[in-house]
Each structure stands twice: as C-alpha cells, then as structure tokens.
Amino acid sequence: MPLDQRTTLTQFLIEQRRRFPSASGDFNALILDVALACKAIARSVAFGALGGVLGAQAGSINVQGEEQKKLDVISNELFVRANEWGGHLAGMASEEMDEPYNIPGVYPRGKYLLVFDPLDGSSNIDVNVSVGSIFSVLRAPQDVIDSGRDVTAADFLQPGCQQLAAGYALYGPSTMLVLTVGTGVHGFTLDPNLGEFFLSHPDIRVPADTQEFAINASNSRFWEPPVKRYVDECLAGKTGPRGKDFNMRWIASMVAEAHRILMRGGVFLYPRDTKDPSKPGRLRLLYEANPVGFIMEQAGGRASTGREPILQVQPTSLHQRIGLVFGSKNEVERIERYHREPAPLKDDNPLFAERTLFRD
Ligand code: AHG
Ligand code: MN
Ligand code: MN
C-alpha cells in the first residue's frame, strides 16, 4: 500500500477521538507508549540467538512459580520503562512482577492502571514460534487519582467489563498490534523500516461459526464433562452429532491463537480442570483472559469461563487463574450450554443423542 494511503496508529487514535467525541481519548498517549514498548520487544525477539536473548534467566522464578526466560525479564523492563514516565499511569501490574508497580516519585502520576503480560507464550521463544504481549487499561479508583497514593493489588481487582482499552502485539512473521478502545477491533502492522504501526486490518470481525478448535489435549483426563463432551463431538466429525468435520490447532501461545481466531474464526479452550486443585485454570484473569475477552466481544465473538462471561468475573487476586473459552460466538455459546445442561445420558442411545425429538 503506498505510504500516502496509509493510516498510522497515531492518526487512527486521533481520528477515533474526533469520531467519538464522548469517548475520552486522553489515553492516546498511553497507547502510543505501549506501542513503543511492543516495538522494542519485537526488535529484541527478532534478533533471537544473535541478540543473546534466548534461554532462561538464571535462578529466576516468577510469582507463579514459573521459570522466567531472559526475554520475559527484558520485555517486562521495556514495558515498565516505556510507560512509567508519561504521567498517564497511577500504577502497573504484570505477570512478571509479584506486587503492583508504583510510579517512581520523579514522575507525575495519572488516572489509569496498566496491566500486562509482557511476553506470552514464553515456552515458544527458544523454538522461534510466535509470541506476543497482552495489555489492559483500567481506570484507577477515584481515591487513587485524588490522593496520588501508592497503588495496591485491590485497586486492580476490577471486572473485565470496566476495561477502557485492551490489546496485544504479536511477534510473528510480521509484527502486529491489535487494539480495542471500545469501538471495535483494529489491527496494525509494523513497517520495520519506518518503525511505525499502520492500520492494516480495520474493524476485525470473528465469524460466528467455525470448524476449528484449539485445546491442549494432553489434559483431557482432567477435563470436566461438558468440555469432554464438546471435544468428543468435534472429534466425531461428520459421523457424530455435529454432522461436520473439525480441524484442530494448538500453538501454545494464546496471543497467536487469539489472532488466528480473529482472522478466520475458531474456538480456544483452556478450561478449568482438575489437574491441580490450587490452579482453577491455566491462564491469568487480569492480563490474559480479560484483555482477550474484551477484544473478542468487540469483534463480535464471545469469551466465557464456560459458566459466565469472562468480563463479568469479579477478580479476587492479582495473579488469579481462570478457565477460559473464547472465539466464534456460536461455539462458545454451545460450550456454555453444555455447562448448564446435564450430560447426555447415553451416547449410544438415539433417544438421548444430540439431535432427537427430545432436543432442539
Ligand atoms: P506465559 O508464557 O505467559 O506463561 O503463557 C503461556 C500460556 C498461553 O500462551 C498458552 O495458551 C498456554 O500457556 C500454553 O499452555 P500449555 O503449556 O499447557 O500448552
Ligand atoms: Mn501468558
Ligand atoms: Mn508471559
């Protein structure tokens, strides 16, 4: 696309503010700082082995008890440095920081909270598969804004429906930033020569139907019955109750899976399971499930725990994990229905099969 026909991220944000005068656009500068962090991470990731950035950070374990990779630590640092100085933030929280981060006294404090997973899909870094960053912007509680006090974990415990903006950067064959400020979902591709994000995917919509699902099948013995039922029916394909064949994908990089689903539909499940009673799900509510949930809903898709919309969940702790299902609306709704319904009594009895006189 010729340069004079392109829209930069900056231009897009300014024009959005003009089109939606009621929408507060005063976090535009914050979004641009986040975008700068993502560009810096993209560059580090792209250098790979040549940058000396691969592998584990010696002796470093995060609050989740997971080994940190060098790039987890570098990406976290880039996020913090790019966003702490601008005066927009009251505080930050990250997968890679046990406690909330307070804006140092040398900088002014603002009215927003930034929550992020600086590098999602870390297990893929050393094998050169797509990874990403995910972020969410919340408004700080009024007393934080008024007093400028330090933030606490409790200030971040807001349901996802209160997010003002959310997005992710995908470090794949090309680097993309996908963003919602509550007016649909828009994708930008990084021009690596100019170092600028350009609008390449305006108004992304998730198809309501799909024949593609993503789940880590090695956990199948720990799944709850509704999930087992759903996957079994997909696997049964044309000969089963769904009457059509499904394809399966698992990248083990949620950002990359979310992007695939935004581009061509699909459903992603990392459901609550019985693997480890101390971990109700694998993904983290505040900086993985909520931003992806906001993006999916803004693109006409759906995101759920299986039992309730993800954006309605009241968080109880900063690094809380949760079961997550998202993607094409009709599939997510079906999975929610399976959670409400009792399991079919007998799979082989046609009276109780999925499509009979007794079910619609
Ligand atoms: P992170 O690298 O930030 O810890 O998150 C990884 C997440 C997510 O990206 C992916 O969907 C999932 O973990 C992969 O889980 P498995 O290792 O069970 O495949
Ligand atoms: Mn992650
Ligand atoms: Mn991460």
pLDDT at 203: 98
**From the CA of 96, which ligand is nearest?**
3
Same domain (yes/no): 95, 186 = yes
In the numeric block, the tokens 């229905």 are attached to 337
pLDDT in tens, 202-231: 999 999 999 999 999 999 999 999 999 999
Pairwise CA distance, residues 302 & 258, whole Å:
12
Atom of ligand 1 nearest to the CA of 95: 3
Amino acid (1-letter code) at residue 137: V
| Element housing 139 (H / E) | strand 131-139
Supply 77's token pair: 């640092």
Pairwise CA distance, residues 271 & 320, whole Å:
14
Closest CA to 253 of 272, 268, 264, 241: 268
Q: What is the CATH number of the domain that holds 146?
A: 3.30.540.10
Q: What is the CATH number of the domain that holds 272?
A: 3.40.190.80
In the chain (360 residues long), the average pLDDT of successive 10-residue segments reads 88 89 78 98 96 85 84 97 97 97 97 98 93 98 97 98 98 98 96 97 98 98 98 98 98 98 98 92 97 98 98 98 98 98 65 50
Domain of residue 221 covers 212-340
Taking each continuous run of H as one helix and of E as one strand, the counts in the chain are 8, 17
Supply 284's token pair: 């983290």
Same domain (yes/no): 120, 249 = no
pLDDT at 2: 81
Structural domains of the chain, count: 2
Residue 25, classed as helix, strand or coil, is coil
Take atom 6 of ligand 1 and give the residue whose Cα is closest.
121
**From the CA of 118, which ligand is nearest?**
3
Supply 316's token pair: 């109880």
Same domain (yes/no): 51, 171 = yes
Residue 279 domain-assigned? Answer: yes
| Element housing 197 (H / E) | strand 196-201
Same domain (yes/no): 187, 259 = no
Which residue ranges have their beta carbon within 6 Å of ligand 1? 66, 95, 117, 120-123, 216, 252-254, 270, 282
Binding-site residues, in ranges, read 95, 117, 119-123, 216, 288
Take atom 12 of ligand 1 and give the residue whose Cα is closest.
252
Supply 204's token pair: 């992304």
Strand partners, 124: none
* C-beta separation of 30 from 114 below 8 A: yes
User: Positive or negative, the Cα torsion across 196, 202, 206, 207?
Assistant: negative
* 6 CA distance to ligand 3 middle (Å): 32
Whole-model pTM: value is 0.94
Pairwise CA distance, residues 35 & 197, whole Å:
8
Residue 231 domain-assigned? Answer: yes
Exposure string over 229-249, b if 16+ CB within 10 A, otherwise e = bbbebbebeeebebeeebeee
Pairwise CA distance, residues 51 & 220, whole Å:
38
pLDDT at 354: 52
pLDDT at 25: 65
Same domain (yes/no): 268, 127 = no
Residue 357 domain-assigned? Answer: no
Residue count of the chain, please give it. Answer: 360
Beta-carbon neighbours within 5 Å of ion ligand 3: 95, 117, 119-120
Q: Tell me how far the alpha carbon of residue 286 is from its chain's centroid.
A: 9
DSSP 44-105: HHHHGGGGT--SEEEEEE-TTSPEEEHHHHHHHHHHHHHHSSSS-EEEEEETT-SSPEEPPT
* C-beta separation of 178 from 204 below 8 A: yes
How is residue 166 annotated by DSSP?
E
Amino acid (1-letter code) at residue 246: F
pLDDT at 3: 80
Residues 6 or more apart in contact with residue 314 via CB below 8 angstroms:
157, 159
pLDDT at 355: 53
pLDDT at 164: 96
Same domain (yes/no): 285, 150 = no
Residue 33, classed as helix, strand or coil, is helix
Same domain (yes/no): 268, 247 = yes
Binding-site residues for Mg(2+), in ranges, read 95, 117, 119-120, 288
pLDDT at 1: 80
